Copies of this chain bind each other. A is one copy, B any other.
Amino acid sequence: MKFDNPISAANLAAKLGAECIGDGKIQLSGINEIHRVTEGDITFCDNAKYIKPALASNASCVLVNERFEAPKGKILLLLEKPFVAFTELSKETRGSFETTEMVSSTAKIGEGTLIMPGAFVGRNAQIGKNCVIHPNVTIYDGCSLGDNVIVHSGTVIGADAFYFQRKGGYNKLNSCGTVRIENDVEIGANCTIDRGVTSETVIGQGTKIDNLVQIGHDTVIGKNCLFASQVGIAGVVNVEDDVILWGQVGVQKDLTIGKGAVVLGQSGLAKSIKGGITYFGSPVREAREKMKELALIKQLPSIIEQLKK
């Protein structure tokens, strides 16, 4: 997420009460998580175990709580609580929510798009042409929808990431990312699509989503996927094109579902799976193997009987 105005590393250090390690003249233009940073971005690292990828990333600045050497062209800001400082910065990218309008006057609504009564469209949200936003939908600030998108009632686009750091209780990393929904997507009723923590949650072109489906923060869904009702996908998942997930499938965070994979109802994914194959079970296996296993289990009593003889 970008700041409204860039800030020099030296000025940021002064603001945060941090020590500069490196060139204080580097201009910093936003914040992002380590997997998404580009030049100008700030990220954080509060555990020496993870310092290598942070220093090797495209981030221009890393908030740290131990002294390291700054790689060329990067700056480190040394302070006591990198996560807390990062959280404070995240708030700067997102103002207060305060508004009394159901459809914000700063939202951009395309030609031919219908916003039904009771729908909320937040500030700086963008909705393309020929969309239908049904009654009582909520689209949070800054989310964007392409053309010909249909969103059924009660669906919530852009609620905060479920992303906390355990420290006695839970500290919240303020979500300052967004949701981007491409053209020709249809989303059923009472779905929830969370915003990225610092980057985007994406629903690819032509994907169709049934009712009561959960899509976690920073998850990227490919084109022409089909998700049946009550599917739940955690955060930071990568779903490639043409994937079909049947009803009540659950997907854990930080994994990839290969192009054209089909997952049968009520299955659970804890690891990445290859494309082009049909899966079943919790934890999931190739459907053919799982079916053989279920058949074997049914025959167990007679098999054991035989063996005992």
A interface residues (Cβ-Cβ under 8 A, vs B):
96-102, 114, 116-118, 120, 122, 132, 134-136, 138, 140, 150, 152-156, 159-160, 162, 164, 168-170, 172, 184, 186, 188-192, 194, 206, 208, 210-212, 214, 216, 224, 226, 228-230, 232, 234, 246-248, 250, 252, 265-266, 268, 270, 282-283, 292-294, 296-298, 300-301, 303-304, 307-308
> If A138-B135, A211-B194, A307-B307 touch, does A156 touch B266 (CB 8 Å cutoff)?
no
Query: Which residues of chain B are within 8 angstroms of A156 by Cβ–Cβ distance?
Result: 136, 152-154, 189-190, 211
List the number of copies, as a whole number.
Answer: 3
**What residue of chain B has the Cβ atom nearest to residue A299's Cβ?**
B304
Cα–Cα, bound, A71→B235 (Å): 56
Cα–Cα, bound, A192→B162 (Å): 17
Let me know if A232 and B247 touch, CB within 8 A: yes
Let me know if A232 and B229 touch, CB within 8 A: yes
Let me know if B118 and A99 touch, CB within 8 A: no
Contact of A265 (CB < 8 Å), options: B98, B102, B270: B270
Most central of A99, A122, A138 by chain B CB within 10 Å: A138
**What residue of chain B has the Cβ atom nearest to residue A206's Cβ?**
B169
Most central of A172, A184, A247 by chain B CB within 10 Å: A247
Query: Which residues of chain B are within 8 angstroms of A184 by Cβ–Cβ distance?
Result: 169
Let me know if A252 and B265 touch, CB within 8 A: yes
Query: Which residues of chain B are within 8 angstroms of A162 by Cβ–Cβ distance?
Result: 188, 208, 210-211, 228-229
Let me know if A132 and B265 touch, CB within 8 A: no
* Closest beta carbon of chain B to A225's beta carbon, Å: 10
Cα–Cα, bound, A150→B228 (Å): 27
Cα–Cα, bound, A160→B224 (Å): 18
Query: Which residues of chain B are within 8 angstroms of A134 by Cβ–Cβ distance?
Result: 97, 138, 140, 159
Contact of A303 (CB < 8 Å), options: B120, B160, B230, B304: B304
A-B contact sample (9 more), CB < 8 A, given A102-B135, A169-B206: A134-B159, A136-B136, A194-B211, A211-B214, A230-B232, A232-B248, A296-B301, A297-B297, A297-B300
Let me know if B116 and A97 touch, CB within 8 A: yes
Cα–Cα, bound, A216→B305 (Å): 44
* Closest beta carbon of chain B to A131's beta carbon, Å: 12
Query: Which residues of chain B are within 8 angstroms of A228 by Cβ–Cβ distance?
Result: 162, 234
* Closest beta carbon of chain B to A62's beta carbon, Å: 27
Cα–Cα, bound, A307→B305 (Å): 10
Query: Which residues of chain B are within 8 angstroms of A190 by Cβ–Cβ distance?
Result: 154, 156, 190-192, 212
Query: Which residues of chain B are within 8 angstroms of A247 by Cβ–Cβ distance?
Result: 214, 232, 234, 250, 252
**What residue of chain B has the Cβ atom nearest to residue A104's Cβ?**
B117
Contact of A159 (CB < 8 Å), options: B192, B211, B300, B307: B211
Let me know if A153 and B118 touch, CB within 8 A: no
Let me know if A214 and B230 touch, CB within 8 A: yes
Cα–Cα, bound, A273→B284 (Å): 25
